[in-house]
Structure 1
Amino acid sequence: MDDLGAQLRQARLEAGVTLASIAARTCYSASHLSNVEAGRRTATPDIVLAYARALGEADVRRRDLLAAATIGPIAANELIRNGFTAALAGHRDGVDRWRDRVDQYGRDYMEIGADSLQIRLANDLVVMQQQLDSPIMWATAARALTTYGKTTKDPTEAIGWYDTARVAADRSDDLAVRVWVRGRAAIALAYEGAALPVAQRYADEALGLSDRPSLGQVQALMARAHIAAGRGDTAAAIVADEDAQRVFERTASPDGEISDAAVPAWRMATFRSMLYARLGLIQRGEQAQINADRLRPASLTRFATHIELHRALMMAKAGDGPSGLTHARLAWAALPTNRRSQTLGLVLREVERAAGQRR
Structure 2
Amino acid sequence: MTTIGELIKDLRTARGWSQSRLADELSKSAGTTIAREYISRRWESGRHEPSPFWLRHLSAVLDVPLTVLEHDSVKRRTFLTDVAATAIAPVVASDLIAEGFSARLKNAGPSVDDWEAKLATYGTDYMSFGAADIQRRLANELVVLQQQLDQPRLWSVAARLMTLFAKTFPGSDGAKAVTWYRLAAEAADRSQDEEAMVWVRGRASLALGYEGASLGVARVLETQASAISDKPSNGLLNAVWADAHIKALSDDQDGARQALLQAQRLFEKAGSEEPTDYAIPWWRHNVHISLLAARLGDEKVALKAQEDGAAAIPESMPRFHTHLQMHRGLMMVRAGDRPGGIATAQHALDLLPPEKHSLTLRMLMNEISAPVPAA
TM bracket (short chain) = 0.7 to 0.9
User: Does 2:300 align with 1:290?
Assistant: no
Deviation at 1:154, TM superposition (A): 4.4
| 1:1-359 pair list within 5 angstroms | 70-72=88-90, 74-155=91-172, 156=174, 157-254=176-273, 257-353=274-370, 356=372
Deviation at 1:83, TM superposition (A): 1.6
3-state DSSP of counterpart to 1:111 = coil
- Provide the rounded CA distance (Å) in 1 between the counterparts of 2:202 and 2:255: 18
Residue identity matched to 1:115: A
Conservation of the 8 A alpha-carbon contact between 2:158 and 2:187:
yes
Deviation at 1:42, TM superposition (A): 7.0
- Provide the rounded CA distance (Å) in 1 between the counterparts of 2:280 and 2:252: 25
3-state DSSP of counterpart to 2:126 = helix
TM-score (norm 2): 0.75
Q: Partner residue of 1:16? A: none
Residue identity matched to 1:329: Q
Deviation at 1:232, TM superposition (A): 0.8
Change in 2 beyond 3 A, CA 1:164/1:294: same
Structure 1 unaligned residues grouped into runs of 5+: 1-38, 44-67
Change in 2 beyond 3 A, CA 1:111/1:119: same
Per-residue displacement from partner, 1:73-122 (whole Å, max 9, x unpaired)?
x2511211222332343322211111111111111111111111111111
- Provide the rounded CA distance (Å) in 2 between the counterparts of 1:353 and 1:76: 36
Conservation of the 8 A alpha-carbon contact between 2:87 and 2:179:
no
Return the structure number with greater relative CO, CA threshold 8 A, min gap 6: 2
Conservation of the 8 A alpha-carbon contact between 1:193 and 1:227:
yes
TM-score (norm 1): 0.78
Conservation of the 8 A alpha-carbon contact between 1:316 and 1:358:
no
Conservation of the 8 A alpha-carbon contact between 1:276 and 1:284:
yes
Structure 2 unaligned residues grouped into runs of 5+: 1-59, 65-85
3-state DSSP of counterpart to 1:253 = coil
Q: Partner residue of 1:52? A: none
3-state DSSP of counterpart to 1:97 = helix
Per-residue displacement from partner, 1:289-326 (whole Å, max 9, x unpaired)?
11110111011111111111100000111111111011
Residue identity matched to 2:328: R
Residue identity matched to 1:285: A
- Provide the rounded CA distance (Å) in 2 between the counterparts of 1:71 and 1:93: 22
Residue identity matched to 2:317: L
- Provide the rounded CA distance (Å) in 2 between the counterparts of 1:239 and 1:339: 34
- Provide the rounded CA distance (Å) in 2 between the counterparts of 1:336 and 1:42: 42
Per-residue displacement from partner, 1:172-193 (whole Å, max 9, x unpaired)?
1111110010000011000111
Deviation at 1:40, TM superposition (A): 6.5
Change in 2 beyond 3 A, CA 1:200/1:83: same
- Provide the rounded CA distance (Å) in 2 between the counterparts of 1:341 and 1:40: 34
Residue identity matched to 2:316: S
- Provide the rounded CA distance (Å) in 1 between the counterparts of 2:332 and 2:288: 18
Deviation at 1:283, TM superposition (A): 0.2
Change in 2 beyond 3 A, CA 1:302/1:358: farther
